[in-house]
Amino acid sequence: MRPHAILSGPGGESALGYGGTLYLTSRRLVHLGQVVLSVNLTDLVESSLAGERLLLTLRDGEGLALDVDQPRLLRAEMAAVGRELRR
């Protein structure tokens, strides 16, 4: 769980961010707050870091940016869960 997560969609720096709490489950990433978003971890194609922001690319070509505490740890946790799903 990551409280105070800011979710931004396409548009990068100029896009509005939506506050909420981010949850990493055994199958998906869920953002609950001003906007509710659920992403299956199997739909993640790529993740990268830009400062304290985690950038995610989805299978459909869309992208998300997450401003969270400890983004490197979240990325590692997401990778570990993703490996388990692919077994």
Q: What is the pLDDT of residues 26-79, one digit of tens each?
A: 999 999 998 899 999 999 999 999 988 999 999 999 999 999 999 999 999 999
Which has the higher per-residue pLDDT, 23 or 87? 23
Beta-strand runs (E) in the chain = 2-8, 17-24, 28-33, 37-40, 44-50, 53-58, 63-67
How far, in Å, CA of 81 to CA of 3, rounded? 20
Which domains, and CATH codes, for the chain? 2-85 (2.30.29.30)
- Band of the pLDDT at 25, cuts 50, 70, 90? very high
- pTM, full prediction: 0.87
pLDDT at 14 over 60: no
pLDDT for res 11: 54
| Cα→Cα distances 5→2, 16, 37, 63, Å | 6, 13, 12, 16
The answer to whether 7 and 21 have CB atoms below 8 angstroms apart is no
Which letter does DSSP use for residue 39 in this model?
Answer: E
